[in-house]
Amino acid sequence: MTAAKSHIYGLLAEFDTPEALIAAAEKVRDAGYRRTDAFSPFPVHGLAAALGLQRTRVALITLLCGICGGLGAYGMMWFSSVIAYPFNIGGRPPHSWPAFVPITFELTVLGAAFGALLGMLALNGLPQPYHPLFNVQRFADHASRDCFFIAIDAADPKFELSDTRAFLESLQPQHVSEVPR
Amino acid sequence: MTDQVIQPGHTFATVTDKIASIVLTRPIGRGWLVLVVITGFLTIMLSTAVGYLLAVGVGIWGVDVPVAWGFAIVNFVWWIGIGHAGTFISAFLLLLRQDWRTSINRFAEAMTLFAVACAGLFPLLHLGRPWFFYWLFPYPNTMKLWPQWRSPLVWDVFAVSTYATVSLIFWYVGLIPDLATLRDRSRHRVGRVVYGILAMGWRNSARHWHRYQMAYLLLAGLAAPLVVSVHSIVGMDFASAQLPGWHSTIFPPYFVAGAIFSGFAMVMTLAIPLRAVYGLKDFITARHLDNCAKLMLVTGLIVAYGYSSEIFLAWLSGNEFEWYMTTNRMGGAYGPAFWALILCNVVIPQSLWFKRVRVNPKTLWIVSLVINVGMWLERYVIVITSLHRDFLPSSWGMYYPTIWDWATFIGTLGFFLLCVLLFIRVLPAISIFEMRELVHETSLAPAPAAAEGGK
């Protein structure tokens, strides 16, 4: 890594419409950059494909947590009424499964909801107290309002400050700025 | 005009600034302050009533044999039902891709949380010794006892606590991008720090949005059946008893419909003043009022079907206790409550067939208040008239709520409104990022009505 690379986080290009952002993201992807990210004040349909993102694992985590919740709930009720404290209530069998369905359902949902929340946060690397992008004033003011950005990370193997800058300029952005660390 | 979900001419920047300004820059109004003081006093009244109950016991309430369920259960079912519309709007309407949900889902979800908080209070206080509430949960204890898994009351503990938790998660996930917006827009250090911590470093990254949207969709898919299950289980609390007037298979579905009916009425009760006071008529348009009114009409008709089915089945059963309960409900000591409920829930909502009533905020607001009262009366009639005269005439009795019953109930109303008032001033009452998305979508495919409205 050269000295020029180490003191900056990367380059940030600004666009004014979601359509321009998607078009630019496709060109960045086709140019072979991999450590890239795009920023939009709302989820833009088609942007994930333009960046070449894979399917997320959030759904899988949610499913697994839901299964754990459901099995845990049913197992707990089975254990307590069959093994730990069998008790005859109105002649019902200890393992009266229909009565166990509602709580099994509730705890499946509870487990899955925690899976969706924590899975999403963990895969996104949140909470994150500091990020270099907020050093760019335009980003801090407008990324959550009305502007669209593409960042190319200096750690990308294809990243070369002047070449990458020239490449981003060729995408006709509003601005290109260096992101200090 | 009524076909629009957002007035034309808005951009990403204007929706952001308009909604964020209510929280960040708008000065505190005199009306808001007066309401906060009033609801604050009601909240103090609630804590006094609860404190006295903890000191003395449930004997301060009107509950007694044979009516052991009284106001506590009436209010519990009423509050939890109100909460259901919030989840219905956020989850069902998201899954059905109803774009008009966007501007009302955030505060409807907040309403859910506050209503569930009020609801949860009542069964806890009704326990008799509320400080032993944790006995309801399975935990290793010296008595080696477990909860009774075959009882709907235990199902209720799990259903309501799951519902409260999942509603909170769903609401918070929906808030994260907006908290980031407030963090970036706030010009005050405290605001930046607090919103910054709550936003957890959200930076609107496409990689994050990608996972976020999946998580949000999954949470909606989980919350939708959850809503149905929660009020079904509340219905089963009644239906699994042998008591005439409760022992009926119609209860779970008719409770769910009633919950959504009363919840939409509460959404309208809050939304109509909110849009007028905070100038949000561009976002909560006549179309929203119209759609919510139609949903109230439909769920109201389902509830009316539930009432008639109950009466018909009591007659069809040929069971003398069932039929006595029905005639006693209509013509007995609590007959006026029954007829008032029919007036509020069946007769008056028929005015919603008329478009003039649906799109006029004043008439719609009055109808929704009437429905709120009617749904409270419905639970009152179900709980009290069924219990007060059951099988044995020797164990018949009357129920009289005491001043502490009223203080607790009215206190929760104050607490609920206080939470709503504070929420409006500290968090965005309308989802900002979803409104930006809506601006984008409506600009891509202008509806025919949008062109008309622009003239």
Which range among B95-99, B165-169, B298-302 shows the weakest confidence by mean pLDDT? B95-99
Which range among B17-31, B103-117, B342-356 shows the weakest confidence by mean pLDDT? B17-31
ipTM value, please give it: 0.91
Residue-wise pLDDT tens for chain A (181 aa)? 444 556 888 888 888 888 888 888 888 888 888 888 899 998 888 888 888 888 889 999 999 999 999 999 999 999 999 998 888 878 888 998 999 999 999 999 999 999 999 999 999 988 888 888 888 888 888 888 888 998 888 888 888 888 888 888 888 888 888 888 8
* A69 and A51, same domain (yes or no): no
B229 vs A47: CB contact, 8 Å cut-off? no
At A16, which CATH number? 3.30.70
Specify the pLDDT at position B10: 81
CA of A109 vs chain B CAs: smallest distance (Å): 6
* A116 and A84, same domain (yes or no): yes
B203 CB neighbours in chain A (<8 A) are 39, 131, 133-134, 143
Specify the pLDDT at position B398: 92
- pLDDT bin (cut points 50, 70, 90) of residue B411 is very high
* A75 and A45, same domain (yes or no): no
Residue B447 pLDDT > 50, yes or no?
no
Specify the pLDDT at position A54: 82
Q: B214 CB near a chain A CB, below 8 Å? A: yes
Residue B228 pLDDT > 60, yes or no?
yes
* A109 and A78, same domain (yes or no): yes
A148 vs B2: which has the higher pLDDT: A148
* A36 and A84, same domain (yes or no): no
Residue B452 pLDDT > 80, yes or no?
no
- pLDDT bin (cut points 50, 70, 90) of residue B141 is confident
Mode of pairing for the β-strands spanning A175-180 and A8-15: antiparallel
Q: Which amino acid is at B250?
A: I
* A7 and A51, same domain (yes or no): yes
- For B232-245, the pLDDT digits (tens) are 999 998 998 889 88
Q: Which of A144, A147, A148, A153 to mutate to test the interface with B (most CBs of B within 10 A)?
A: A144
* A89 and A63, same domain (yes or no): yes
Question: What DSSP line would sit under A75-140, residue for residue?
Answer: HHHHIIIIII----STT--SS-HHHHHHHHHHHHHHHHHHHHHHHHHHHTT-S-S--GGGGSHHHH
CA B131 to chain centre: 26
Q: A153 CB near a chain B CB, below 8 Å? A: no
* A65 and A51, same domain (yes or no): no
* A77 and A63, same domain (yes or no): yes
* A64 and A48, same domain (yes or no): no
Q: B212 CB near a chain A CB, below 8 Å? A: yes
Q: A144 CB near a chain B CB, below 8 Å? A: yes
Domain count, chain A: 2
Residue B2 pLDDT > 70, yes or no?
no
Portion 127-186 of B in contact with A at CB < 8 A: 138, 144-146, 148-150, 152, 154-155, 158-159, 162, 165-166, 169-170, 172-173, 177, 180-181, 183-185
A44 vs B165: CB contact, 8 Å cut-off? no
Q: What is the mean pLDDT of residues B409-434?
A: 92
A77 vs B211: CB contact, 8 Å cut-off? no
* A65 and A102, same domain (yes or no): yes
Percentage, residues of chain B above pLDDT 90 = 56
* A82 and A108, same domain (yes or no): yes
Q: Which residue range(s) make up the domain with A65?
A: 58-123
The full set of domain ranges for chain B reads 12-132+147-441
Query: Of A106, A123, A140, which residue sits at a domain end?
Result: A123
Residue B379 pLDDT > 80, yes or no?
yes
- pLDDT bin (cut points 50, 70, 90) of residue B380 is very high
Q: A83 CB near a chain B CB, below 8 Å? A: no
- pLDDT bin (cut points 50, 70, 90) of residue B7 is confident
